[in-house]
Chain A
């Protein structure tokens, strides 16, 4: 699976959009981009995933560049409950889907 690079930490004002970047320059054509988050020591929580096209669900939007070498997770209106570590994971779309977690981005939402 391709490696990912994320900034170690980011701050976001409450109510503003949080834009979390991820670089995955070695991604292959059949690899998906997944985002998970972990709030404190709870179990990680799935947020969203995509292959080529931009995706949106009730939690977030995922923007993938045309060359697929980077992506951005957007939380449109961050709240204090969005304070967490966010993980960008690249996953091949076949076989076992074990997740390889990097260090992620620690997002702090500030009142």
Chain B
């Protein structure tokens, strides 16, 4: 158990819909990272938040957005969903450096 929690575990929705994925970092960790893992693209970095502020953006689509709240939990919002957005979404938390603790992921299926 990494100490990082993600909800929901599974999400099935239709194209065009909007969903919110939630991540609670390990106690004391200020950084939250979001990654997407799809069959064709592998594991890709999406966005990094540190203590409520956006620190870095990766290959995140404009339809996707994220935020980190004062209690340090983070949400990833995916809108106008397409079939290709079906993937595993992981969040990871870190206190500092490259050692990150990953959550169990949310499996999103867009039908």
Contacts and interface: CB of A to CB of B under 8 A. Distances in A.
B110 to A, nearest CB: 17
Interface size class of A (residues with CB under 8 A): 20 to 34
B99 A49 contact: yes
Contacts of A97: 31, 33, 48, 94, 97-98, 100
A30 interface: no
Given A34-B98, A98-B48, A43 B43 contact: no
Interface residues of B, number: 29
Interface residues of chain B: helix, strand, loop or mixed (majority): strand
Contacts of B58: 98
Interface in B19-48: 31, 33, 35, 37, 42-45, 48
A98 B56 contact: yes
Interface stretch (A2-10, A14-22, A74-82, A99-107): A99-107
Contacts of B105: 41-43
Nearest to B91: A43
Interface in A70-111: 87, 89, 91, 93, 95-103
Contacts of B45: 98-100
Interface in B62-111: 88, 90, 92, 94, 97-105, 107
A45 B102 contact: yes
B99 A46 contact: yes
Contact of B104 (A34, A42, A87): A42
A49 B100 CA distance: 12
Nearest to A34: B98
A43 B48 contact: no
A43 B37 CA distance: 10
10 contacts: A41-B37, A42-B104, A43-B92, A44-B43, A44-B92, A96-B50, A97-B31, A97-B33, A100-B45, A101-B35
Interface of A: 32, 34, 38, 41-46, 49, 87, 89, 91, 93, 95-103
Given A43-B92, A43-B103, 4 more contacts: A96-B50, A98-B48, A99-B43, A99-B92
